[in-house]
Amino acid sequence: MGLLGEGINEIIATTRNNAAPIGIIVKDGSLRMVLFHGTHTLENIRRDGWVVANIVHDPVIYVKTAFDDLPEDFFCNETYGDLEVQRLKDASAWIAFKTEIERESGEAAIVRLVPVAEEIIDNSIYPVNRGFNSVIEATVHGTRYVMNRDPWLKQLIDHHASLVRKCGGSREREALELLLGYIME
Ligand SMILES: Cc1cc2nc3c(=O)[nH]c(=O)nc-3n(C[C@H](O)[C@H](O)[C@H](O)COP(=O)(O)O)c2cc1C
């Protein structure tokens, strides 16, 4: 399991010239992603057979990559044998995986991950911050809200927005404002 813990790990997945927040499910020692059809992450994995999990503590990156692209200079290359992958330059740690599409449904594909390389770059300690956690929650709801405008999701976003304002630091507040801009009607 290495750097990841049991349950769902919210990481920034990089594929060629692309980054998106994605959950890695760790269960019974196996690692998987469930990727919705239509995501660039799934298309790129199908084409190239690799993905990198970037462990990131900047809330702005979660919001930005959920709705938008990152400039080229946010990425750098790593080589493992004959496999060349891209990761985020500012990741605290990263794990490169070879991928295998295990199953597909009408909605999503289940992708099995086989770790091939990993590195810890920054050993800083990050105390639990409800503001950071609420940015993640609000962003998950936001990616669905832009598709269906469900008023219940808006209520959840508003709840998390108030927690970000109460418990977050300036970077969490910046991430929230960015998110609210992306989901505006
Ligand atoms: C914290 C978080 C976790 C997410 N996990 C997943 C996931 O496991 N699978 C998925 O298909 N989308 C997930 N999403 C939504 C994608 O990030 C979103 O659809 C994104 O636009 C996909 O970008 P891409 O087209 O560049 O791959 C998640 C979003 C957030 C904020």
Question: Each residue of 32-76: pLDDT tens digit?
Answer: 999 999 999 999 999 999 999 999 999 999 999 999 999 999 999
143 lines ligand 1 (CB under 6 A): yes
Q: What is the mean pLDDT of the chain?
A: 97
Alpha-carbon Rg for the chain, nearest whole angstrom, is 16
Q: Which two tokens stand for residue 119?
A: 């590195």
CB 15 within 8 A of CB 50: yes
Q: Phi-psi category of 38—alpha, beta or left, where left has phi over 0 and alpha has psi -120 to 50? A: left
Provide the percentage of residues in the chain whose pLDDT is more than 70.
99
Q: If one looks up domain 130-183 in CATH, what number appears? A: 1.20.58.290
Q: Report which residue type is found at 159.
A: H
pLDDT of residue 2: 84
CA distances from 46 to 99, 159, 178, 181 (A): 8, 37, 31, 32
> Could you tell me how many residues make up the chain?
185
What backbone phi and psi angles, to 5 degrees, belong to 16? -60, 120
Q: Which of 9, 10, 22, 56 to mutate to test the pocket of ligand 1 (most atoms within 8 A of CB)?
A: 22
Same fold, 7-120 and 130-183: no
Residue 90 pLDDT > 70: yes
pLDDT value at residue 108 = 98
d(CA 177, CA 88) in angstroms, rounded, equals 23
The finding on whether 18 has its CB within 6 A of some atom of ligand 1 is: yes
Ligand 1: centre distance to CA 22 (Å): 5
CATH class of residue range 7-120: mainly beta
Ligand 1 in reach of 139 Cβ (< 6 A): yes
Separation CA 102–CA 34 (nearest Å): 10
Judged against a pLDDT cut of 70, whether residue 78 lies above it is answered with yes
Indicate if ligand 1 lies below 6 Å from the C-beta of 3.
no
Residue 166 parent element (H or E): helix 151-167
Nearest protein Cα to ligand 1, atom 6: 22
Element (H, E) at 104: strand 93-104
Q: What percent of the chain has pLDDT over 90?
A: 97
Is the pLDDT confidence value at 104 over 70?
Answer: yes
Ligand 1 contact via 23 beta carbon (within 6 Å):
yes
∠ CA 179-44-90, nearest 5°, is 55
Minimum-distance ligand 1 atom for the alpha carbon of 42: 27
pLDDT tens digit sequence for 149-182: 999 999 999 999 999 999 999 999 999 999 999 9
Is pLDDT at 1 greater than 80 in this prediction?
no
Q: Is 82 left (phi over 0), alpha (psi -120 to 50) or beta?
A: alpha
**What is the number of the ligand 1 atom nearest to the C-alpha of 19?**
26
How sure is the predictor about 127, in pLDDT bands with cuts at 50, 70 and 90? very high
User: Where do the domains of the chain lie?
Assistant: 7-120, 130-183
Ligand 1 centroid, distance to 66 Cα (angstroms): 6
- Whether residue 185 is predicted with pLDDT greater than 90 in this model: the reply is no
